[in-house]
Amino acid sequence: MSCFGRGLRRTAPARGSSRNELVTPSTASLTRVNGWACPPHSFQLVGWTIYSYMAVVGFGIYIPLLPSPWSHMAYSLTGIAFIVHLVTHLAAVSIDPAEAGVRAKKSYSNPLPVFDKKKQPHVIHNLHCYLCKINVDPKVKHCGVCNKCIEDFDHHCKWLNNCVGGQNYWYFFVTVLSATLGVLVLLMVVLFICIQHYMDPASLRTAPQFTSVMSNGTWLVFLPLAPMETGSGSLLVVAFLTVMLATGSLLLLVHLLGFHIYLLLNQMSTYDYIITRRRKQTSQQDVEMGFPQSSDSNAGQNHPQMEPSIDCDALLSDSVSCKNQETGTISSRPSGSFCTELDNFTKSSEKENGFYYGTELPTQIIPGEVVMDDPLGWRSGGGGEGPRAGPCEGVPCTDRAHQ
């Protein structure tokens, strides 16, 4: 393992900030119970609106126009898909995916504790969450949106306004699957109606209520309970809008469903996939720049593994020594991405020598929260101080694994 396998990223320091400041979650201080907690996400509202529109248009306008026995088949397939989607969607939103210890505390009404970086470098450190105050399993992550630890964390879903974890993952999967099948059947029905409207309109006017309609340009909707007359133009305009909406929804659903089938076949979570992809991108960048790959470039093919803690004794010279607590010295030469960052760091420190760069506190990435890594620990200093000398000068002392 090389402690310089990843490229370093840093952002400009905020004015008046300090690496010893208290860190609080980006969302409200209260922990969210499930997807019904306020405020609702805009994607959640859009999802329920599309579902309601598809149900009204499908069962109220187009499926009743189908001749028998196609109408009975369409009612059965679409009805099963929409009912299963409704039940699983409600379950996925309503279930609390938190870790068992968090659910046992039942303290969602209390403000979330404040995380102090002076005491601990990570929100979850040594399998203990310092915000939820519980011991957790390796697959547990702390979601910055829900403000709680999620059991078998997969991702935070904006469409559900809830985290997807071990407690509700299969409800989420069936929700996506049923939505895909329901939209597909409805799209085929609407396209069939549009084609038959021009090819053989009489085949769509087999309902008994059409016997009282004299004009062929008049159509009935909301059959058979509340028939209402409408024109051919209105019927085709609504069909066009429905086809466009159904096609866009179907593309998104098929992509999402295929992605999660891929994850299931590879026994990965969405979080594992993102971490593995980031590592591959970093390795690919080193290859494109002409630098040799590090020894851990193939790590995380299926699951990103927890890396042992590393102490790095670095000097601002051509050679760097990295000591692993388990295996001893593992590298004597920094990777290309680190050398580039080190050159840029040296030049920027000459121009802006009013800032102090510390390296003691790595950044903890909280799932669901947008966080920029700051491995060099920017700090405002006075008196024209440069980088502070120390055992790990300019190099992160800990090879950080995502908790």
Helix (H, G, I), strand (E, B) or coil at 260: helix
What tokens does 312 get? 């790095």
* Catalytic option among 143, 157, 312, 397: 157
- Please enumerate in sequence order all residues whose Cβ is within 8 A of that of 57, keeping only pairs 6 or more positions apart, or say none: 186, 190, 238, 242
Helix (H, G, I), strand (E, B) or coil at 221: strand
What tokens does 377 get? 């620990």
What tokens does 36 get? 């019904």
d(CA 314, CA 333): 10
What CA–CA distances, in Å, run from 88 to 30, 45, 335? 26, 17, 48
* Number of helices followed by number of strands (H, E) in the chain: 7, 16
- Please enumerate in sequence order all residues whose Cβ is within 8 A of that of 256, keeping only pairs 6 or more positions apart, or say none: 176
End-to-end CA, the chain: 19
Whether the Cβ atoms of residue 12 and residue 378 lie closer than 8 Å to each other: yes
* 157 catalytic residue (yes or no): yes
Residues identified as active-site: 157
